[in-house]
Amino acid sequence: MQEPFRAVASREAEGGREIAVTVRNVGMDFDGVHAVKNASFDLPKGRFLTILGPSGSGKTTLLRMIAGFQTPSSGEIFINGEAVSAVPPHKRSIGMVFQRLALFPHMTAAENVAFPLKMRRRDARTIPERVERYLELVRLGGYGGRRIHELSGGQQQRVAIARALVFEPDLLLLDEPLAALDRKLREEMQLEFRRIQRELGVTTINVTHDQREALVVSDDIVVMDQGEIQQKAQPIHTYRQPRNAFVANFIGVTNFIAGTVRAVSEAGDVSILRGDLMLAGKIGDPVNPPAEGDKASGAIRAEQIRLAGDAAQLSKLDCMLAGTVTDTIFEGERMVYEVACAAIGDEVIRVFDHDPAAHTQFDIGESVFLGWNARDMLVFR
């Protein structure tokens, strides 16, 4: 009965690596609420996958099903090629770091880290040495005797990581464990995760709604919205080639200009008409391309637009729009301009100014020109 599944589930991935986790057509219903719909992906061994999505998109639900705390309403999950729906959490070899850490408050840091080893009946003589080694791995050597409440937030985080890794699980699951930390510590811990994951080579699934974290730490990103997987790709592709308007909008700062498709070429060039303005762009989603006459919108990122006081400076760019600065937001490393453009009905376009040489500064009310290249505008239905 399971043979065909197993044969498919344990196939080699594109890179020739073995598959650690397969999620196939998995769905989860909570009394009519579809928390996860028909999710499928493969995760090769040793990779770091991030599930990224807004609040309520089903990330935690998907993770809990992989961990075994919830049973999928439909579909099947395979770990190392084995269907696991009948396997309880304590028999799966999964280390999990919880959103609120779930450290045992009545134990010391070392006792917390030793817990999974004791539960798995490892040789008692090797436990102390092993615990200390993993505490050192998370840079907490010598802190083993502390109680949990005697540790700082970041240190507790590290204990949780050590505890999830010490028994060398096949799979590490992280449910937004960094969400509660301040930004500096969070960025430090993101790199720490990355370092430890590379050092141990453990297959990891991380859940977050922080797009920066997803881009920085992952080999692959799965973007979810309303229970559905929108795209699975490497970070750079997720950012540069979003497959639909949701992904384009969720990651980065993106402007959308709605219009009607006028022409589509074999090579993937599209032009859309908005009022009297014709805009040239590229097909965003080759699987679901727009056709002539469709309503569509062109997506252009804030950092791909150039800003200038006179039109001549932008003459090398494919598209140009005139507008008026309505707001300026200083973000330290860059200035964000909001520009209302008459040609698109005074809709506001956001532009990052990161010109390190000129340091030109525009004020609210000033007339400016925006320019960009046609290949940077992706057109989605």
Partner 1 sequence: MRAARTAYPLKWRIMDALEGVAAAIWPARFRRATPYLMLLPAVLLVGLLVLGLIQIADASLRTLDTTTFQFSDDYSIANFRRALTEPLFLVVAQRSLIAALIVTAVTLVFAFPYAYLMVRTRSPGLRKFLLIALFLPFFIGQVVRAYGWLIILGNQGMVNEALGLVGVAPMRLIYNYPAVLFGLVQYMLPFAVLMLAPALTAIPEELEAAAGSLGANWVRTFIHVVLPLARPGFIGAGVVVLTLSLTDFAVPAILGGGSHDFIANAIYDQFFRTSDQGLGATLALMLVALGSILVGLVFALFGAGTLAMGRSRA
Ligand X SMILES: Nc1ncnc2c1ncn2[C@@H]1O[C@H](COP(=O)(O)OP(=O)(O)OP(=O)(O)O)[C@@H](O)[C@H]1O
The site for Mg ion (CB under 5 A) is made up of 60
Q: How far is the CB of 175 from partner 1 (least distance, A)?
A: 10
Residue 99 class from Cβ within 10 Å (0-12 exposed, 13-18 middle, 19+ buried)?
A: middle
Among 39, 43, 67, 162, binds partner 1 (CB under 8 A): 67
Q: What angle do CA 208, 237, 303 make, to 5 degrees?
A: 85
Binding mask 118-137 for partner 1 (x = CB under 8 A): -xx-----------------
In terms of CB distance, is 22 or 61 closer to ligand X? Answer: 61
Residue 49 class from Cβ within 10 Å (0-12 exposed, 13-18 middle, 19+ buried)?
A: buried
Among 44, 53, 242, 252, binds ligand X (CB under 6 A): 53
Among positions 155-174, residues that touch partner 1 (CB under 8 A) are 163-164, 167
R_g over Cα of the chain: 25
124 binds, among partner 1, ligand X, Mg ion, none (CB under 5 to 8 A by kind): none
Q: How far is the CB of 65 from Mg ion (least distance, A)?
A: 13
**Binding of ligand X by 61 (CB under 6 A):** yes
142 binds, among partner 1, Mg ion, ligand X, none (CB under 5 to 8 A by kind): none
In terms of CB distance, is 54 or 128 closer to Mg ion? Answer: 54
CA distance 322 to 369: 5
Q: How far is the CB of 50 from ligand X (least distance, A)?
A: 13
Query: Residue 91 to residues 37, 68, 97, 119, 315: CA-CA distances in angstroms?
Result: 26, 9, 17, 11, 65
Q: For residues 196, 201, 202 and 203, what is the CA-based torsion angle, rounded to 10 degrees?
A: 120
User: Do 65 and 143 form a contact (C-beta atoms < 8 A)?
Assistant: no
The pair of structure tokens assigned to 301 is 């990122």
**Binding of partner 1 by 85 (CB under 8 A):** no
In terms of CB distance, is 207 or 300 closer to ligand X? Answer: 207
Among positions 193-232, residues that touch ligand X (CB under 6 A) are 209
**Binding of ligand X by 35 (CB under 6 A):** yes
Taking the mean position of all CA atoms in its chain, how far away is CA 14? 21
**Binding of partner 1 by 356 (CB under 8 A):** no
User: Do 63 and 51 form a contact (C-beta atoms < 8 A)?
Assistant: yes
**Binding of partner 1 by 69 (CB under 8 A):** yes
3-state secondary structure of 78: strand
Q: For residues 157, 162, 164 and 166, what is the CA-based torsion angle, rounded to 10 degrees?
A: 180
**Binding of partner 1 by 30 (CB under 8 A):** no
Q: How far is the CB of 92 from ligand X (least distance, A)?
A: 19
Closest CA to 351 of 340, 359, 343: 340
User: Do 269 and 282 form a contact (C-beta atoms < 8 A)?
Assistant: yes
**Binding of ligand X by 30 (CB under 6 A):** yes
Stretch that binds partner 1, among 2-10, 104-112, 274-282, 368-376 (CB under 8 A): 104-112
53 binds, among partner 1, Mg ion, ligand X, none (CB under 5 to 8 A by kind): ligand X
**Binding of partner 1 by 380 (CB under 8 A):** no
Query: Residue 88 to residues 71, 114, 120: CA-CA distances in angstroms?
Result: 10, 21, 14
Return residues touching ligand X (CB under 6 A): 30, 33, 35, 53, 55-61, 209
Return residues touching partner 1 (CB under 8 A): 67-69, 88-90, 92, 94-96, 98, 100, 102, 104-106, 115-116, 119-120, 147, 163-164, 167
